[in-house]
Amino acid sequence: MAQEIILAGFGGQGIMLAGKLLTYTGMLEGKNVTWLPSYGPEMRGGTANCTVIISDEEIGSPIVTNPSVALVFNNPSLEKFEPLVKTGGTLIVNTSLVTIKSKRTDINIINIPANDIAIELGEVKITNMVMMGAFVAATKAVSFEGVMDALKKTLPAHRQNLLPLNEKALKKGSELV
Amino acid sequence: MGEKILMKGAEALGEAAIKAGCRFFFGYPITPQNEVPEYMSKRLPKEGGVFLQAESEVAAINMVYGAAGAGARVMTSSSSPGISLKMEGISYIAGAKLPCVIVNIVRGGPGLGGIQPAQSDYFQATKGGGHGDYRMIVLAPSSVQEMVDLMGDAFDLADLYRMPTMILGDGMLGQMMEPVEFKERKPIALPPKDWATTGKKGRGKQNIINSLFLIAEECEEHNFELKKRYNEIEKNEVKFESYNMEDADVAIIAYGTTARIVKTAIKRAESKGMKVGLIRPITLWPFPEKVIAAAAEKVKAFLTVEMSTGQMVEDVRLAVNGQKPVYFYGRTGGMVPSPEEMVAEVEKILG
């Protein structure tokens, strides 16, 4: 069983960080994992995406043409990755910023107003964790406890006070699935 | 057993080098390997080592030349255009019989090319990119873990044979993150560096590091001596991985990142009823020609897949020596072949 996940948005939305956290969680849960960033002559505000694979078996290609899950944080990301999601796969859409409606009927589409929820929680930077909550609830690729555990291990000491906020964001995201 | 940590390929290379005893790093920035010098600049001073960003690649490789001559474990890293600049120095280091490790995180070429992953520096790495009758041990990892494991080998082989050793990766391996474990390495017996220029300290004779031999007879003698050690390496140091080859009809030959994509392609081909195996050279020089020649007696055909327009395929053809057809599929300039494309090529071959 392998989940091939693409996270996409623009620079500054915490795409790479969310991808790394997911990869780290998979590793802590004993899975094989890879994280591959798109890299290129990009700038702040430009597009950013990364590919995460979480698998029970050895991972061959770290590149994914047709992801089983795509988390899209803005319109250009939906345009690029919505057509590529595998039949039967999952598309998680940040409807706070994505205004385009997906026309796919062969995939599971989950709409999350992630920015709005994050702002409600008092911190727009937590948008990525709201999306992550939806992802965990929809796919069960990793566990909530696992994500929290990974956060605890990766947040520096002076940021550990942000754990409860992250937990709230994860829960909020998951409740909407 | 050590703990698994999640690391970027380029950073893992840096940590592995430090664990292998590397205390000197000289480099000049270039994408997509900047995380190597960045990591070394953070870590080396804490280990009592020296990190120096040189004024150019030419300066960096000559600093490597100097540190290696003084007997240090020293490394430089760069990407394709930067490695071209280092070629003169690499030839001198080979000529002066000095050990060092050079990392090339290959990007598209020729010229400035692009910054996406490529394997188009195979000729340069294995066929003597610099001048003269020299060889360089070339190791080609295909995962972040293997980058770490091969780094220890690279320093040991360099010291054992007194020659430059290259780790040939690509942009993808440099940029991707995977769990790695820094395993305890068994130390191997290495010859003392009694040739190093560390001060005379009462020795009768000066140690001189040099690659100049003006008398033809002496220069030939020097080349024969080098050749003797190259023969030994070809005999003793070949490394490869054989995957799914037991009853394969088609053997794919691929290295590095491409080889892991081949593994995905093999699984897809299997589900379509095709029997495909992989021979993955881990040492590009010395090239695993014997295992390929032996496979030629069993398989129907070979397919070489590279991120180039066809470089390693020449060595595959030499090894197969006309026994079976050798096909080629390549993407280049930063484009990466997909498993689907590889399966389509195998389908064409099996007709």
Residues A157-169 pLDDT 10s: 999 999 999 999 9
Residues B78, B61 share a domain = yes
Closest among B14, B36, B22, B37 to B72, alpha carbons compared = B22
- DSSP secondary-structure letter at B117? B
Decide if B341 touches A, using CB distance below 8 A.
no
Residue B290's pLDDT band (cuts 50, 70, 90): very high
For B147, the enclosing helix (H) or strand (E) is helix B144-161
What average pLDDT does the structure give for chain A? 94
- DSSP secondary-structure letter at B204? S
pLDDT for res B242? 98
% of chain B at pLDDT higher than 90? 96
* B24-27/B50-53 β-pairing: parallel
Residues B85, B156 share a domain = yes
Residue B202's pLDDT band (cuts 50, 70, 90): confident
B90 domain-assigned? yes
Mean pLDDT of B298-312: 98
Burial B121-149, CB ≥16 within 10 A → b, else e: bbebbbebbbeebbbbbbbbbbbbbbbbb
Cα gap A118→B198, rounded to integer Å? 62
Range of the domain at A123: 2-175
CB-CB under 8 Å, B178 with A34:
yes
Range of the domain at B329: 241-350
Mean pLDDT of B94-102: 98
Residue A121 Cα, gap to closest chain B Cα (Å): 30
B111 domain-assigned? yes
Residues B41, B60 share a domain = yes
- Strand pairing partners for A32? A55
% of chain A at pLDDT higher than 70? 97
Tell me which of B208, B236, B264 is where a domain ends. B236
B217 domain-assigned? no
Closest among B277, B342, B275 to B306, alpha carbons compared = B342
Task: Evaluate whether A15 touches A50 at the Cβ level (below 8 Å).
Answer: yes
Does residue B1 register a pLDDT over 60?
no
Q: Which of A29-43, B45-59, B91-105, B153-167 has the lowest mean pLDDT?
A: A29-43
CB atoms closer than 10 angstroms to residue B208: 9
Q: How many domains does chain A have?
A: 1
Residue A43's pLDDT band (cuts 50, 70, 90): low
Tell me which of B236, B268, B294 is where a domain ends. B236
The ipTM value here is 0.93
Does residue B105 register a pLDDT over 80?
yes
Tell me which of B180, B212, B236 is where a domain ends. B236
Can you state the percent helix, strand and coil of chain A, rounding each to 5?
Answer: 45, 20, 35
Cα gap B80→B116, rounded to integer Å? 11
Residue A173 Cα, gap to closest chain B Cα (Å): 26
Residues B113, B18 share a domain = yes
User: pLDDT tens digits for A63-85?
Assistant: 999 999 999 999 999 999 999 99
Does residue A40 register a pLDDT over 60?
yes
Cα gap B266→B259, rounded to integer Å? 10
pLDDT for res A12? 86
Q: How many domains does chain B have?
A: 2
Residue B201's pLDDT band (cuts 50, 70, 90): confident
Residues B157, B266 share a domain = no
Mean pLDDT of B314-330: 98
pLDDT for res B2? 67
User: pLDDT tens digits for A107-145?
Assistant: 999 999 999 999 999 999 999 999 999 999 999 999 999
pLDDT for res A1? 76
Residue A47 Cα, gap to closest chain B Cα (Å): 16
Nearest neighbour of A60 by CB, restricted to B32, B178, B264: B264
Q: What tokens appear for B213 in the block?
A: 């031999």
Residue B255, classified by CB atoms within 10 Å of its CB into exposed (0-12), middle (13-18) or buried (19+), is: buried
User: pLDDT tens digits for A1-36?
Assistant: 799 999 999 988 999 999 999 999 999 999 999 999
Residue A39's pLDDT band (cuts 50, 70, 90): confident
Using the structure block, give the residue that is written with the tokens 């997911």. Answer: A22
Closest residue of chain A to B8, computed from CA coordinates: A35
Closest residue of chain A to B340, computed from CA coordinates: A65
The identity of residue A14, as a single letter, is G
